[in-house]
Amino acid sequence: MSSFWPTLDHWSVQIPLDTPHPRLAQLAETGYVVLRDADFEVPPAQYEALEYMDWKSGGDTNFAPIASADGELDCRGFWDKGKTDKDALWTSNAARVPAVQEYVDKVGANFGRVRIIKLEPQSRDEAIRSIHRDDNNRFNPEHEGWVVRSWLELTDNPDSYMLLMDNGPDGLPDASTEVRVPLHRGARFVVDTQRLWHVVVHPGTAPRYALITSFESGPALSSWIDAERVPVAV
Ligand SMILES: [Fe+2]
């Protein structure tokens, strides 16, 4: 058993949960929504050849910025440049993964950071040490849409999963709400990562690659989710 569990002095606890920002109805209940698997693949030769930066988030990770606050190959938060995580500019990596650029553009929503994450294997015990909530809405005016994140899995890791937990009354992750989103190739999902605690459990032997994009909540993102989500059984 893992001995680690976040406590009230974890930095994530200070990140706001309740704000007036407009949010998506589709995420209201659980904080996440699973989409249909992607109907295209990004060739490994393309995403493996990108320029990756040493940036640790959620484990032993490297990131290739596809869009950033100012178009530079920079993994820092947009807030370092006084900017909310939207209105991003494509970096020099973007043209090297045209399917990714086209995919993000076609959503039609305002997007922030677009990055490909390379995550080295980590067991559940190791992963739990990195469980956290994101500070996606720093500097976001309260009348503008709540920033959430979407994933597209580029490598095929059916035994790996995104571990999600909602908050308990104490503001710490509530283990009884655990969800495991499977990470096979083409898996796609949208998560309110400022609300849900999250980390990826990846027991494989090779790195896992995925596309992560910040999107502003609003009519465009809502319509896209409705068109792309796994139909709910009735
Ligand atoms: Fe995160």
Buried b (16+ CB within 10 A) or exposed e, 88-97: bebbebbebb
What is the token pair recorded at 20? 């007036």
How far does the centroid of ligand 1 lie from the alpha carbon of residue 134, in Å? Answer: 5
CA of 58 to the centre of ligand 1 (A): 7
Tell me how far the alpha carbon of residue 135 lies from the centroid of ligand 1, in angstroms: 8
Q: Rounded to the nearest whole angstrom, what is the distance from the C-alpha of residue 184 to the centroid of ligand 1?
A: 19
- Angle of CA points 182, 187, 213, to nearest 5°: 110
- Between CA 151 and CA 221 the distance in angstroms is 14
Residues 6+ apart with CB under 8 A from 112: 67, 78, 84, 85, 86, 87, 88, 136, 147, 213, 214, 215, 216
Cα(29) to centroid(ligand 1), Å: 20
Each of the 234 residues of the chain gets a pLDDT tens digit; together they read 557 999 999 999 999 999 999 999 999 999 999 999 999 999 999 999 999 999 888 899 999 999 999 999 887 778 888 899 999 999 999 999 999 999 999 999 999 999 999 999 999 999 999 999 999 999 999 999 999 999 999 999 999 999 999 999 999 999 999 999 999 999 999 999 999 999 999 998 999 999 999 999 999 999 999 999 987 766
H or E, element range at 142: none
CA–CA distances in Å: residue 77 to residues 48, 90, 139? 23, 15, 11
Q: In angstroms, what is the span from residue 198 Cα to ligand 1's centroid?
A: 6
